[in-house]
Chain A
Amino acid sequence: MNPESLSGPAAGATPSPDATHSSSEGAAIKSVKLRHPIRNVFAVIIVLLAVAFVYDAALRPAFNWPQVAKYVFDRRISEAAFNTLQLTVYSMVIAVLLGILLAVMRLSPNPVFKSLSWFYLWVFRGTPVYVQLTFWGLLSVIYPVIDFGLPFVDPFISLPTGDALNVFQLAIIGLALNEAAYIAEIVRAGILSVDRGQDEAATALGMSWFQSMARVIIPQSMRVIIPPVGNEVISMLKTTSLVTAVPYSFDLFTRSRDISAEAFTPIPLFLVASIWYLAFTSILMIGQYFLEKRFARGIGAAQPEKKVTVATGLVTVVGSPSDDASEPPRDPRGDGTR
């Protein structure tokens, strides 16, 4: 208990002072804001510790910062970083598409699809990704001639002969098929989170099961799906370091390790790799923020009305364009309801 919090008569739970009141009502409250002294003390301590750590790290020879600076934009490193990014993006795109398909299959009324999806999940979630990547690397050993390799490959991905697939493509396939199993469960959870009444309303309008899924259920489930999928993307970025099992050795981590073995300076090169991973993660987090905003449409207070533009299709047909375009978006609370 601190003295400040007791001193002000109305400190704490007061309506915000900018709430508008007409003069006939009571005077607006100008209260002393609640103070948080302990919080501030902690913040100062943490900042001091951080400064001390950074200061120490800057001078510590083991980190070898000149070496870090030398390698961070090294051609080999930036190329490896680009490879890692490609591995992440390609495998995630495939994984998300396949994952949605698997989730929809799992929830479909069709028992064949259901079992197929369940079986896929059982296999790909039940074995380590490192082992799976090793298997993909051995594909041409196991099936030297047959193009359609493993028995559980989804029909949408067709494999040419083992020769035609280089280790980069094998790495993507390995990462994607493993990840799809996890994405499928995320998508399934998202779909199940949508109120049953939504499907009923769509059905009652004569929409097919597929239309209801594609237009009504999945768009709504996106709001639930995106945060964990964002998590998976970031996780995938780092899982790409396992592609050495294929063996693919031009990703960021493997490349850094190889260079460090040459230069006998492991620590600075791992710092270099970390800097790149962090940079990519930061960019991905920004992307996730915007995606989440996009799929929060119609929920919460943000963006109460769709803007009347040509793109939204509201201008061209409803009356003449000038009628609608000239009209500012209406106040959603203008009629006093809700």
Chain B
Amino acid sequence: MNDTPMVEADRVSKSFGSNQVLRSISLTVKRGEVMCLVGPSGSGKSTFLRCINHLESVDAGRLRVDGALVGYRERGDKLHELKPQEAALQRRDIGMVFQRFNLFPHMTALENIIEAPLRVKRMSRAKAIERATDLLAQVGLDDKAASYPAHLSGGQQQRVAIARALAMDPKLMLFDEPTSALDPELVGEVLDVMKQLAKEGMTMIVVTHEMGFAREVADSLVFMDGGVVVESGVPREVLANPQHGRTQSFLSKVL
């Protein structure tokens, strides 16, 4: 089996103006691994996630997905920016789920899901609809294909958003606080879909505040604060016995 790590960050840094949000982040996500990124808001976890699919570009260090440098090509010792088409090609293998769902409101659930396969992968309409129908069934929404997002609950919208990302057959799924915008009673249905996905072997990086999910599903847990990785390890151990003071004080507030 291919043992190239799915994501490999080597001293990655990123600044917005004078505000350095990522400071020399190094971490590795193996194939099939589920990693949870936790930490206080402003700790840089979302920014790191967005760097992985090049919604933001990194300023320093090397970030590789499946062995390929994100957003750049290495020629000799020089980095060349990728053309927009090449960057898009990298992104289509990386699914992303947003805190605010970001479904396309003018399209039905089904149309949301088939849009990218039709336009980006040039899949035939029949095949795309067939796949979308399967995916909707997988997230438990086969009866909502014709509904517009405005008529779905938050949990249903997020499940459609997951199905939409899966429709591109990604090798890596990024979740940016997927349950933070949900009413408490709707969190479970989204986490269930994610658990199922993890069970099927999807490589996932999840920014979350759901420590229960992290403990139960994740293979590794990374605690970030102030743009640095403070602590990482097996979730059960980090959660039960945090070594670092900042981790302890954070966990004491959220657990």
Question: Residues of A at under 8 Å CB distance from B?
Answer: 195, 197-198, 200-209, 211, 215-216, 219-220, 295, 297-300, 303-308, 312-314, 316-318, 329-330, 332, 337-338
Contact = CB atoms under 8 A, between A and B. Distances in A.
Given A200-B55, A314-B145, A329-B146, A205 B108 contact: no
Contact of B148 (A298, A312, A316): A298
A201 B89 contact: no
Contact of B153 (A207, A211, A306, A338): A338
Contact of A313 (B55, B95, B125, B147): B125
Contact of A337 (B106, B119, B153): B153
Contacts of B145: 314, 318
B53 A215 contact: no
Given A208-B88, A297-B148, A300-B150, A313 B168 contact: no
20 contacts: A195-B102, A200-B98, A200-B102, A201-B104, A203-B88, A205-B120, A205-B165, A205-B168, A206-B88, A206-B92, A206-B168, A208-B85, A220-B104, A220-B106, A298-B108, A298-B150, A312-B146, A314-B110, A317-B130, A338-B152
A298 B106 contact: yes
Nearest to A329: B146
Q: Which 3 A-B pairs have the closest CB atoms?
A: A206-B92, A298-B148, A201-B102
Nearest to A296: B106
A221 to B, nearest CB: 10
B116 A207 contact: yes
A205 B115 contact: yes
B56 to A, nearest CB: 10
Interface of B: 53, 55, 84-85, 88-89, 91-96, 98, 100, 102-108, 110, 115-116, 119-120, 125-126, 129-130, 133, 143, 145-153, 155-156, 161, 164-165, 168
A205 B98 CA distance: 12
A298 B94 contact: no
B188 to A, nearest CB: 13
A204 B94 contact: yes
Contacts of B133: 318
A334 to B, nearest CB: 9
B50 to A, nearest CB: 8
A317 B84 CA distance: 34
B148 A304 contact: yes
A209 B84 contact: yes
Nearest to A334: B143
B91 A204 contact: yes
A308 B102 contact: no
A200 B88 CA distance: 12
Nearest to A220: B106
Contact of B100 (A197, A204, A332): A197
Contacts of A195: 102
Given A204-B91, A206-B168, A305-B148, 14 more contacts: A200-B55, A205-B92, A206-B89, A206-B92, A207-B116, A312-B146, A313-B125, A314-B110, A314-B129, A314-B145, A337-B153, A337-B155, A338-B152, A338-B153
Contacts of A197: 98, 100, 102
A219 to B, nearest CB: 5
A295 B156 CA distance: 23
A202 B103 CA distance: 9
Contacts of B100: 197
A305 B92 contact: no
Contacts of A200: 55, 98, 102
Contacts of B151: 304-305, 332, 338
B236 to A, nearest CB: 31
A211 B120 contact: yes
Given A203-B55, A313-B129, A338-B153, A215 B148 contact: no
Interface centre among B145, B164, B168 (most CB of A within 10 A): B145
A295 B108 CA distance: 13
A320 B110 CA distance: 17
Contacts of B102: 195, 197-198, 200-201
Given A204-B55, A313-B125, A332 B116 contact: no
A207 B88 contact: yes
Contacts of A201: 96, 98, 102-104, 161
Interface centre among A198, A204, A295, A337 (most CB of B within 10 A): A204
Contacts of B98: 197, 200-201
A329 B146 CA distance: 9
B119 A299 contact: no
A305 B147 contact: yes
A204 B95 CA distance: 7
B107 A298 contact: yes
Given A206-B120, A215-B115, A306 B152 contact: no
Contacts of A316: 126
